[in-house]
Structure formats: structure tokens, C-alpha cells
Amino acid sequence: MPPAPATERLNRLLVMVPWLTARQRVPVGELAAAFGITRNQAEADVLLMGMLGVPPYTGGCLVEVTLDEDDVVAFPQPYLSRPPRLTAAEGFTLLTAGQALLGVPGAEPDGPLARALRKLQTVLGDGRGLAVDLQSPTYLADVRRAVEDGRALQIRYYAAWRDGVTDRVVEPHVAFQRRGRWYLAAHCHLRGGVRRFRVDRIQQLEETGERFEPVRAPPPEGIFDPGDDAVHVVLRLPVSARWVVEAYPLEWEEVDGRLIVHVRLLGTAWLERLLLRVGPGAEVLEPPELRDLGTAVARRLLAAYVLEAVPAADGADQPAGPAT
């Protein structure tokens, strides 16, 4: 599976440095929970953090963080305690970027980053007219509150894989972010097991009034888990369709200049749309019964287009002539 976009990870690291510096020592599990990532991701971030710093990127100019058994230890960062000298333009640029970082999971409204930004805003002026619009799913706050308090939810959810809408009762376990999107892992009464939902695809939401013991589960490693009923599909795509493996949580490898992609599906609606977008260079290798799916959906679409384009023989569907 391709890694998360570098910008997403960098934004998280920039928030994580002051967060750790303020605490000095925290368990790895606490760090992972605070930033909505897995334990393995948290450990990898700590290792990468040692490559962050300020010019000239030598001793004393790099972030000093280390793993000590089950804890993360952050040492004092001298360059963070030295007041920087900034021009007004640099200050406003920093303020705008910092406000954007406050939308990253793990950023605290009253944490070190927020306090520093308030001080910077005081120096620059009241900041009226300066706003950073960060899009977040409509029901994200409701979902996170339900996770924290153990509240069951009735949701209307659009599933892109099936291209359909269903009403479900779910018991939220954990909300987490992957690749710039928010997801919810929850026990779904409709499916009888834990399923994962993209929060921005929840069309309606309300509390059922039922309560359960909060699970406080760690974020899952992957994003999509369709269950045992899913069909394993193998695709061969041209390298020009690399956007597919960058946009979706798929397993893939590059073989002889082509992308071999593995995906588990509960229906063919998403696959049909994908084959149409990629074009004739896309092939279904497995299972055999889906190998002609791309051709079939293209013919179906063409037939519908021709039927719509041909006027009725009796002229009933012809537009009316100009008024006289």
C-alpha cells in the first residue's frame, strides 16, 4: 500500500514537536491516540523527527527525540526557546500556516502552538480579516463526541463501493485520519461487525439515546475492510493511472511497467466507474467472471447515450417551434 502523502505527515510532525517538547516524556500509545495514528506510525514519526530542525541542520539545530522502551522522550529544543526575528510579511505567513496546523489531529486549542500563535497575533495586530478555512466533515464533531461518551448513532451512509445509501445504527469505537480524510471505525448493527466509514459520506446523523461502554480502540492499520463477503479483484493498469493507487487504499506493485492492483469489493459499481475513467488500458485479471466488465459497462453507457440522442419517430419529443 502506498504511504500517506508527505504533506499530511509533515503537518503532523510540525504539531508533534511542540506537543512532545511540552510533555518531555509520554508513552508511545498516548502519542498515537492523541494524533489518531497507529503505534507503528507513531514510532516511525519519532524516528523521522530527528531529521527535522533549522539551518544549518547540525548538532543543536535538530529535534532531539528518542524512544526509551515504551516511552517517547523529548529533550529541550534550544531553537524553540529563542525568539525569532521576523518581518511583518514573515509573521503573517507564519500565523496563517500555524492556524492551518491547528486543524491537524493532536493540535490542542490551548497547547504550545496555539499559545505561540496568540502571542504572534498580539504582536502583528488583532488579525481581523485573517482566517484559515479548513474543511472538515459536517458530522465530525458529533462522531468524536459519540466515540468519547459511548453514544450509539443512527446514520444514513453513502457507500461508494456499492453506489448506494443505507440507514444503520452504529456504536463508534474510534475516529481517525488517513490521507487527509476522516474515518470512523464502529460496530455496525446492520452488518453485525466492525466496519469503517468515511465521515464525509455520512448524510444524516442522530443519537439513538442508547449508551455503551466506550471502547477507546486504537486506529486500525488500514482504511477499508469489507469483510469476508468481499470479492478479491486483481487489476492491471497503465502507469499513467498511478493516481488510482495514490487516491485509494489499495495494495499494489509495479511489474514490467504496469501496475498490478489488488482490491476487495462488495459490488461492481466502484469498479465500473474506475474502468471507465482509466480507459482501455485497464484490465481485470481476476476473477474470470469480471474480465469483460469494462467492455460491458462501456457498451451499456454507449447504448444509453445513443437511445437518448435518437429523437422519437413521431416527433413527440422534438422541441416546439418558435411562437407565432
Domain chopping of the chain, boundaries: 6-124, 140-211, 231-309
Q: Give percent above pLDDT 90 in the chain.
A: 20
The confidence band for 142, taking pLDDT boundaries of 50, 70 and 90, is: very high
Residue 318 pLDDT: 44
Highest mean pLDDT among 127-136, 175-184, 220-229: 175-184
When pLDDT is averaged across residues 130-156 and rounded to a whole number, the result is: 81
Question: 33 is written with which cell numbers?
Answer: 491516540
235 class by beta-carbon count within 10 Å (0-12 exposed, 13-18 middle, 19+ buried): buried
Residue 277 pLDDT: 83
The confidence band for 132, taking pLDDT boundaries of 50, 70 and 90, is: very low
Return d(Cα 57, Cα 206) in angstroms, integer. Answer: 51
Question: 294 is written with which cell numbers?
Answer: 469494462
Q: Which helix (H) or strand (E) holds 207?
A: strand 202-211
When pLDDT is averaged across residues 257-271 and rounded to a whole number, the result is: 85
Domain at 140-211, CATH from 4.10.940, 2.30.30, 1.20.1250, 3.30.410:
2.30.30
Return d(Cα 189, Cα 291) in angstroms, integer. Answer: 34
Residue 156 pLDDT: 94
Answer yes or no: CATH 1.10.760 is held by domain 231-309. no
Residue 169 pLDDT: 96
Residue 204 clears pLDDT 90, i.e. is over it: yes
Return d(Cα 305, Cα 213) in angstroms, integer. Answer: 53
Cell 475513467, residue located? 277
Q: Which helix (H) or strand (E) holds 283?
A: strand 283-286
When pLDDT is averaged across residues 253-272 and rounded to a whole number, the result is: 86
Give the pairing of strands 164-178 and 151-159: antiparallel
The confidence band for 146, taking pLDDT boundaries of 50, 70 and 90, is: very high
Highest mean pLDDT among 81-90, 110-119, 205-214, 275-284: 205-214
Sign, CA torsion 57/63/64/66? negative
Integer CA distances (angstroms), 185 to 112, 177, 182, 200, 313, in order: 30, 11, 10, 14, 55
Q: Which helix (H) or strand (E) holds 115?
A: helix 112-124
Residue 206 clears pLDDT 70, i.e. is over it: yes
Q: Does residue 264 or residue 97 have the better pLDDT?
A: 264
Q: Give me the chain's average pLDDT, please.
A: 78
CA 52 distance to own-chain centroid = 24
Residue 66 clears pLDDT 70, i.e. is over it: yes
When pLDDT is averaged across residues 96-125 and rounded to a whole number, the result is: 73
The length of the chain is 324
Contact criterion met (CB below 8 Å) for 153 and 170: yes
Beta bridge partners of 187: 171, 194
Residue 154 clears pLDDT 90, i.e. is over it: yes
Residue 286 pLDDT: 93
Question: 168 is written with which cell numbers?
Answer: 444503520
Residue 296 clears pLDDT 70, i.e. is over it: yes
